[in-house]
Amino acid sequence: MDSTITNDGPQEISLLESLDGEWIKLPLEVMRDIGPAAQTLGGILKMT
C-alpha cells in the first residue's frame, strides 16, 4: 500500500484506489501479443 501524508496524519491507499477509477485500456493487437502478461497483471490488481 502507498502512504500519503495529510493534515490529519498518514493515510493508507491501495493501488486500485490510486488509479482513481481509471482502467488500463490496450489495443486488441497489443493484448494478443502480451495476453499472458496482461492476465498476470489483472490477477495482481485483483489481489491488491
Structural domain boundaries enclosing 29: 21-48
Q: Is residue 1 part of a domain?
A: no
pLDDT (tens digit, 9 = 90+) per residue, 22-42? 566 767 777 777 777 777 777
| pLDDT averaged over every residue in the chain | 68
Q: How many domains are contained in the chain?
A: 1
- Is the confidence at residue 45, as pLDDT, over 70? yes
Single-letter amino acid, residue 25: K
- The rounded distance, in Å, linking the Cα atoms of 35 and 20 is 24
Residue 39 placed within a domain: yes
Does residue 40 sit within a domain? Answer: yes
Q: Is 15 inside any structural domain?
A: no
| 33 part of a folded domain | yes
Q: Alpha-carbon distance 11 to 2, whole Å?
A: 8
For residue 5, pLDDT beyond 60: no
Give counts: helices (H), strands (E), the chain.
3, 2
Domain assignment present for 8: no
